[in-house]
Amino acid sequence: MIENITNTCEGCDRSLGENALMLSMRTEGGERRAYECACGAVTVTVTR
């Protein structure tokens, strides 16, 4: 089980919350989420 996952911007290391979540998709391979930071960078996470 995965616990205490934090999302951090790949561009500026800023913490990304639900307000930065732009896209969420669930497939057989897991859940993918795309976050857009205020700095303009997009970070994609994958949870299996």
Locate the domains of the chain by residue range: 1-42
Burial class for 35, CB neighbours closer than 10 Å (0-12, 13-18, 19+): buried
Confirm whether pTM is higher than 0.85.
no
pLDDT digits (tens, 9 = 90+) for 4-43: 567 899 889 999 999 999 999 999 989 999 999 999 999 9
12 vs 1, more confident: 12
d(CA 44, CA 1): 20
Beta strands in the chain (DSSP E): 21-27, 30-36, 42-47
